[in-house]
Structure 1
Amino acid sequence: MKTLLPLFIPLILLALILVACSSNKSNLNTYLIPENYVGWVQIIYNQEGFDPIKQVNGKNIYTIPESGILKTSTPVEYGVSFDEFYYYDGQNRQQKIDVDQMIHGHHIGDGESVNSSGKIEGPTVQEFFVGTETELQNTPDPEYPVELMK
């Protein structure tokens, strides 16, 4: 029995990894970005009075406005994410964006304000840069939207 145990350890580890991965929700996200847009995109979640993110065929569709700031009433979804990025034009034609060349600094963070008890306040903001590495280096990091601070 002792000699078979080393054979079962990798199988047990694989099973644990598969169970852990299956517990996270997979998000299928499509980001539609205005044609020729260069700059930071900010998606601000949990905003009352704003439209929810559209869902089409099981995908979340984020249509980014010309300003680069999208406010949505949808709460943020955490988990494994499968993202696609497209430019769109005035006729709603889409052109796939090369993620490796044109999408940088993709992250999600909570509000920047901390109250006296140490609790983070403010909605979750997702950010990413659209443009080349050179354009990214010449563009300052975005500020957390001041109007969202409590």
Structure 2
Amino acid sequence: MTLQLADYEISKVPLYAHFFKTLTIGFMISFLSSCTEVKKREPAIYLIPEEYVGSLYIVFNAPNGKPPKYEGNSRVYHIPPSGVLVTQMDANEGWSESSEIKYFSVSKSGKRTPMYESSENTPKTERTVYVGGLGHSGPIYGCTVINKNFTVGTDAEQRNTKKLLTIFEAIKVKNIDKKLFEGMC
């Protein structure tokens, strides 16, 4: 009987140890995954002037900027001929499916023609959008601004340094109204 009890005690310990080990690993995975949760951003439509070539900027969180505009559940960024959109919308950070981001070249009559992001497979003569990043720039009229930048054009046009302006140059060269930036600081 003593031998049977000893066998029972030995086989019982690994079962509990395995249970607690599994439980601990489960808690760790749950904790770490809750810390790394990434927000999903809203779908977006970018409307770019038909003949536009060069750098584009969207400046976010500007109280005097363009009010938010939506088509269905998609944000609409209607880029003005200057190439600099100053908007009241926030930066829309997070991840999204590539199918939820759409780019259009827009004629003066309002006709939309789909555009695509630059890739290795894009013909060098096709007009595309090269998506830059979301970042902070400043000081612009005394404020640091959140902005997203793009370039638009064929491969050669997107490499033409005369068309590629920094956000500071774009605001100055394109005469972007200083009043749009008031209240951002």
Shorter-normalised TM range = 0.7 to 0.9
Please identify the structure whose Cα radius of gyration is greater: 2
1:5 alignment partner in structure 2? none
State the secondary structure of the residue aligned to 1:111. strand
Percent identity for Structure 1 against Structure 2: 25
2:132 alignment partner in structure 1? 106
Q: CA deviation at 1:72?
A: 0.7
Q: Residues 104 and 143 of structure 1: is their aligned pair in 2 closer, same or farther, counting only changes over 3 Å? A: same
2:61 alignment partner in structure 1? 46
Please tell me whether residue 125 in structure 1 is matched to residue 125 in structure 2. no
1:86 alignment partner in structure 2? 104
Superposed CA RMSD: 3.3
CA contact (8 A) 2:41 2:92 kept: no
State the secondary structure of the residue aligned to 2:75. strand
**Count, aligned residues:** 140
Separation of aligned partners in 1, 2:41 and 2:89: 16
Task: Report the TM-score, using the length of structure 1 for normalisation.
Answer: 0.73
Please tell me whether residue 142 in structure 1 is matched to residue 157 in structure 2. no
Q: Residues 105 and 28 of structure 1: is their aligned pair in 2 closer, same or farther, counting only changes over 3 Å? A: closer
Task: Report the TM-score, using the length of structure 2 for normalisation.
Answer: 0.61
> Which structure has the highest helix share of the two?
2
> Which structure has the highest strand share of the two?
1
Unaligned runs of 5+ in 2: 1-14, 16-24, 123-127, 173-177
Separation of aligned partners in 1, 2:155 and 2:165: 13
Unaligned runs of 5+ in 1: 2-8, 114-120
Code of the residue aligned with 1:84 in structure 2: it is K
Q: Deviations over 1:101-143 (max 9, x none)?
A: 4111421111234xxxxxxx51101110001221121123424
Q: CA deviation at 1:59?
A: 0.0
